[in-house]
Amino acid sequence: MSESLFGTDGVRGRVGSEPITPDTVLKLGWAAGSVFAEAGLSGDKVLIGKDTRVSGYMMESALEAGFSAAGINVSLLGPMPTPGIAYLTRTARACAGVVISASHNPYYDNGIKIFSSEGAKLQDELVEKIDAKMSESMTCVPSEQLGKAERFSDAPGRYIEYCKNTIDGALNLSGLKVVLDCANGAGYDIAPHVLTELGADVTPIANQPDGFNINRECGSTHLSLLKQHVMESGADIGIALDGDADRVLLVDSKGEEVDGDSILFVLANQRKRDGRLSGGVVGTVMSNLGLELALKDMSIPFLRSKVGDRYVHGILKEKNWVLGGEASGHIICLDKGTTGDGIVAALEVMETMLKTGQSLRELTKGMAIYPQKMVNVSFAPGGSSKAIVASDTVRDAVVKVEAMLGKAGRVVLRPSGTEPVIRVMVEGEQRCEVDSLTHELVEAVKLAAS
């Protein structure tokens, strides 16, 4: 995607600073609408959904005005999980879907990403055209051609039914006791309804959004609250969504974390038994080596993409496979949806628990987790992450660390696509060695960034 406005996952930043300002968001709506109109879609509608951040009101209104000025109709979904927006964009035959969310970031950040009419990430060609349009002066179609806005009726209900229908219709979750952490985000109302209507005994937490508490000490980036509730209640499983509910992490009955790699292992194992794996599994450069080796033992092909669900999705489409994801909890099941879906992934895990009669802890036993440590190293805004990573100081440190790890370890240096940090990851056989080598590499990155 173009680096001038769009990052690896759309447009994202601090609210009130470029590009997340009223003026720029308004113009982005106009630019996207103009590109859609030039493509002959002026009679169609765009869906706009958001998470629970207070800034969503401002951004929703600005986008609505921009699209209207370009002659594009708008249908407003309100708070809605990102995968729900993708699903409704496709099934409602909209020309595009817009998500207002900064995912797992704090409330003071926000962002915008756009889905195509198929419910997938917008094609690079259209993104480049929108980016180019942003450099033009904003115009407005004649009054008789202005786009209209409406509320989308029963958006939550339609997505709830979709989620429920992704698992065996004869299955009842009444045997499962679940703690559900909604991250005070977009899934705060929908996710509890899905599980409750399927019969689960659900205790929802972090489901009272106030515009400011999204992801605050809760959700998939802060599992302590969920672990506490699971242990205290004797639940079978804990489910943690992130702010826009497109990713999920789990907690087993003993309070142990089950990350996206382990979820992929559970789903791949069950899908192979059922004969519905359809090829192999796609992870990322950050996926644990233990996942790769466990899948190899099961004769399941495994490929790594760059970090980002759009890259996982790209390889899945290229190989005609259906299952992939990230350790952070983006789990993509292309036989069920077009993007990562935290609720759907959690449902498939629970379906596996019931069909096998095994606990989540038992289902994950076949995968050994290699010690892995990741540290985010910040650098000054405006600095070059590429220059830091390519510096002699960092390159020499990487060569030294890789030599000490040998073949049973990995080093990954990855600039973030959404914030000025470099993610330093070291993986190996021994925890103490991984910790010390990570510290050594982090110090080298800090020195190069200073």
Q: Which residue has the higher pLDDT, 347 or 5?
A: 347
Distance of alpha carbon 153 from alpha carbon 189, whole angstroms: 16
Whether the pLDDT of residue 3 is over 60: the answer is no
Number of H helices, E strands in the chain: 15, 18
pLDDT at 9: 75
The reply to whether omega before 19 is within 30° of 0 (cis) is yes
- Band (pLDDT 50/70/90 cuts) for residue 145 is very high
How high is the mean pLDDT of the chain? 94
Burial of residue 87 (CB within 10 Å: 0-12, 13-18, 19+) is buried
User: Would you state the pLDDT for residue 367?
Assistant: 95
- Provide the token pair at 159: 């997505």
Distance CA(170)–CA(176), nearest Å, equals 15
The pLDDT of residue 10 is 87
- Whether residue 239 is predicted with pLDDT greater than 50 in this model: the reply is yes
Mean pLDDT of 414-429: 88
pLDDT tens per residue across span 428-446: 999 999 999 999 999 999 9
Cα distance between residue 251 and residue 233, in whole Å:
13
| CA 367 – CA 403 distance, rounded (Å) | 26
Please write the tens of the pLDDT for every residue from 270-306: 999 999 998 999 999 999 999 999 999 999 999 999 9
Residues taking part in catalysis: 103
Residue with more model confidence, 8 or 426:
426
Q: Under a CB-based contact definition with an 8 Å cutoff, are residues 401 and 373 in contact?
A: no
- Cα–Cα distance measured from residue 213 to residue 243, given in angstroms and rounded to the nearest whole number: 10
Q: For residues 56 and 110, what is the distance between their CA atoms, to the nearest angstrom?
A: 8
Q: CATH class for domain 11-153?
A: alpha beta
174-214 tens-digit pLDDT? 989 999 999 999 999 999 999 999 999 999 999 999 999 99
Give 1's pLDDT tier (boundaries 50, 70, 90).
Answer: very low
Task: Point out the least confidently predicted range of 50-59, 124-133, 237-246.
Answer: 124-133
Its CATH class, for the domain covering 372-449, is: alpha beta
pLDDT tens, position by position, 77-95:
999 999 999 999 999 999 9
Percent of the chain surpassing pLDDT 70: 98
Q: Which of 77-91, 234-248, 415-429 has the lowest mean pLDDT?
A: 415-429
The answer to whether residue 2 scores a pLDDT higher than 60 is no
Quote the tokens at residue 341. 């879906």
The pLDDT score that the predictor gives to residue 215 is: 98
What is the predicted pLDDT for the residue at 43? Answer: 65
pLDDT at 5: 86
Q: Residue 42 has what pLDDT?
A: 63
Nearest alpha-carbon partner for 248 in 318, 165, 333, 175: 333
Query: Tens digit of pLDDT for each residue in 309-319?
Result: 889 999 999 99
pTM summary value: 0.90
Please report, rounded to a whole number, the percentage of residues in the chain having pLDDT higher than 90: 89
In this chain, the answer to whether the domains covering 11-153 and 372-449 adopt an identical fold is: no
Q: What digits encode the pLDDT tens for the residues 35-72?
A: 999 988 766 899 999 999 999 999 999 999 999 999 99
pLDDT band at 155 (very low <50, low <70, confident <90, very high): very high
- Taking CA atoms, 204 is separated from 71, 406, 411, 437, in Å, by 42, 45, 38, 40
Residue tagged 């094609």 (tokens)? 123
Query: Which residue type does 354 have?
Result: L
pLDDT at residue number 122: 86
Which has more pLDDT, 329 or 416? 329
Quick one: CATH architecture of 159-363? 3-Layer(aba) Sandwich (3.40)
The alpha-helical segments, DSSP class H, found in 298-341 are 309-319
The answer to whether 320 and 291 have CB atoms below 8 angstroms apart is no
Give me the pLDDT at residue 241, please.
Answer: 98
| Domain limits, the chain | 11-153, 159-363, 372-449
- Indicate whether 120 pLDDT > 70: yes
Reading the block at residue 20, the tokens are 């997340």
Contact status, residue 79 vs residue 52, Cβ threshold 8 Å = yes
> Where residue 4 falls among pLDDT bands split at 50, 70, 90?
low
